[in-house]
Amino acid sequence: MPYKKNIEALAKRNPRLAQIVDNTKLTGRYVVAPSQRKDKLPSIVDVKFNKNFYNNIDPYRVAEQDIKSRKLNVPDVAVFLGFGLSYEAHEYIRNCPRARLLIIERDPELLKTTFSNINCLDLINSPNVYFAGCEDIRLSYPTIFNFFNMTANMYFLKAINVIEQPVSFAANKDYYLNSLKMVKEAINQVLLLYGNDPYDSLLGIKYTLRNIPTIIDYPGIADLKDVFKGKPGIVVASGPSLDKNVKLLEGLREKAVICAADGSVKILKHHNLPPAHLVTSLERVIETSYLFEGLTEEDVKDSYLAACPVIVPETYANFPGEKIIVYRNFSTFEWLDIKKGILDIGPSAGNMAFKVLEFLGCDPIIMIGQDLAITDDLVTHAAGFHYGNAAKTNMKGVIEIEGNYQPKVKTRTVYKQFLLHYERDIATYKGTAVNATEGGAKIHGTQIMTFQEAVDKYIKEDINTTAVIKKHLKQVKHKEKERQIKETLKKLHYAKDFCNKIIDICSDSLEKCAIVEEILRRTDVAPAGEDYTTYRANMKILEDNVQKFATKDFYFILMHYVQSIYIKILQDINSIKYKHDDGPERDVLLLLKYKELYSVLSSLIKKLIEEFDVSIEIMEKFKVEFAERNEK
């Protein structure tokens, strides 16, 4: 029986789903019987609805014909609604070995029955195949999101093949329709994560480049990896519910690791509470720097700004305490290669605080003030918030979602984005996540209790938090800083040269676009003879030139900046191929996209070169100042 090996393999890929399947009892709803094929390949019947998933003559042939009948111009990504006996998924992979599949199955009993009869190890062990379902589809959101967030899937979000298993879909239609809604939600969040404005991304790169002296001068979060393993951590956000329990933080500074979102710093001061050990910040706008205006060194004594260097330099300058560098999972930081520690950080400072505490090894992580919602009278933040103790929003864009203590609470789209990322983070967190917000939106995967209950249950002994942090943070040595300055200047000059090479590729490609455009115009989109040969050769060059961008240098130096445009246009190109058969009419649409890609890339990269020039000037100045500083 293959069940044991199948379930053990699934437990490594998706422990939650494996546990659900393993705990499911077989009721006899599904009957598996050998078919009339020579190899006796089984078929399966749903006794409840008296439906055979395939047939008894050749069940695999049914799946084979199903896949063959579908129009798969771009087969790279598919969502399977129902798993059956795995035949459809196996046939899809047989036809398209490079394909990536998301398999959603409603019934854990069917999955257990299949695993008991069919060897599915090739699918389960494949990094290109994700399994989800067998529970409220909302709880499978992190798996669905992670599937579409795979780098290889980015370019096919408008060319997704949906494969319904007919019997499963008929029996669980509402579930699978809701699954498609969750797929759409995940895709939207992935697109939001990668942005829709390259100039916004340019800001992040611009400030990162200008913050390189700060990056070199201060230690990184990597120094604190797991130093608080098994010790409680507290995320302090600035939601309106914080007013109810913020005073309970008094006396906890040496009993837990307190990590506050930047907007919470003045709220703690407002209540005459000691500062948090760590303050997270990642917004690349000048307004974030104002959150620290007026603070004194005493206000942030033994407190560290654990910020991502995409912030404006003024944010670092306005924080009068020490700093810890925390990289976000951006290619720019990999390219920079000044080791500080990279975390998979979500879109808010609260999301960042959770990931920082997880990195430190904290368990449990207790959240307060993380409302992710607004009150009935539209209050968005707790008393003492920098922009007013009752910062209010208007009703525009307000939506409703499930609450912790109310069936529905009001929120905004951006807060929902934060919430969804929390659910993704909590799904992979190996400890206990406690939502002690005492109001606000429900974060699936957390235990809900009051902050007092959480303190009584989890926070019991001194852990000397401040001393532990100071002990483990390593100050960067002079010679290492000197090396980093030298190497960074080399990288900046190399990056500038690389950008010019990409501009040359774009210029050449635009010339090819003009040749193809002229041929198609002159021949009324029906080239023949020599025109056809020239047209096909140049279309191939346009497609091949895109492949020249599939390099490490392009990924590290340019991808974070251009990804919103680059990924979107490649999605459009794959969508055109998905919807249209090969031919000149399709090529006209593709030509427009190639022309857009190469012209926009060229324009964007020229602006980035200007930033490299500014950064080189800053680093040359820092090099001199650093030498003078160390001569004294």
- The string of pLDDT tens digits covering residues 202-226 is 899 999 999 999 999 999 999 999 9
497 Cα distance to chain centroid:
31
**In terms of DSSP H, where are the helices of 369-440?**
413-428
Residue 79 and residue 162 in contact, taking contact as beta carbons nearer than 8 Å: yes
Query: CA torsion, points 410, 416, 422, 428, in degrees to nearest 10?
Result: 120
What is the reported pLDDT for 391?
46
Residue 207 and residue 332 in contact, taking contact as beta carbons nearer than 8 Å: no
| Predicted model pTM | 0.86
Which tens digit of pLDDT belongs to each residue from 397-440?
788 899 999 999 989 888 999 999 999 999 899 999 999 999 99
379 Cα distance to chain centroid:
29
Q: Is 555 exposed, middle or buried (0-12, 13-18, 19+ CB in 10 A)?
A: middle
What is the reported pLDDT for 388?
59
- Residue 441's DSSP bridge partners are 403
In angstroms, rounded to a whole number, what is the distance separating the alpha carbons of residues 317 and 301?
A: 16
Q: Coil, strand or helix: which one is 527?
A: coil
Q: Coil, strand or helix: which one is 459?
A: coil
* Closest residue by Cα to residue 135 from 23, 215, 229, 285: 23
What number of other Cβ atoms are within 10 A of residue 21's Cβ?
Answer: 26
**Conformational region of residue 411, where left means phi above 0, alpha means psi within -120 to 50, and beta covers everything else:** beta
* pLDDT higher than 60, residue 392: no
Confidence of residue 67 (pLDDT cuts 50, 70, 90): very high
How many residues comprise the chain? 632
- φ, ψ at 387 (rounded to 5°): -90, 20
- Report which residue type is found at 90: H
* Closest residue by Cα to residue 569 from 546, 588, 550: 546
Name which residue leads in pLDDT, 195 or 83. 83
Q: What is the mean pLDDT of the chain?
A: 93
Percent of the chain with pLDDT over 90: 84
- Write out the two tokens for 271: 């209540």
**For the chain, how big is the Rg over CA atoms in Å?**
28
* pLDDT higher than 90, residue 395: no
In angstroms, rounded to a whole number, what is the distance separating the alpha carbons of residues 124 and 13?
A: 8
What is the reported pLDDT for 8?
96
Which tens digit of pLDDT belongs to each residue from 16-39?
999 999 999 999 999 999 999 999
Q: Coil, strand or helix: which one is 420?
A: helix
In angstroms, rounded to a whole number, what is the distance separating the alpha carbons of residues 3 and 22?
A: 10
Residue 97 and residue 126 in contact, taking contact as beta carbons nearer than 8 Å: no
In angstroms, rounded to a whole number, what is the distance separating the alpha carbons of residues 587 and 542?
A: 11
- Name the strand (E) or helix (H) holding 323: strand 322-325
- Write out the two tokens for 227: 């130093």
What is the reported pLDDT for 405?
92
In angstroms, rounded to a whole number, what is the distance separating the alpha carbons of residues 92 and 88?
A: 6
Q: Coil, strand or helix: which one is 32?
A: strand
Which tens digit of pLDDT belongs to each residue from 71-125?
888 999 999 999 999 999 999 999 999 999 999 999 999 999 999 999 999 999 9
190 CB-near residues (< 8 Å, 6+ apart) = 145, 148, 149, 154, 157
The bridge status of strand 51-52 relative to strand 42-46 is antiparallel
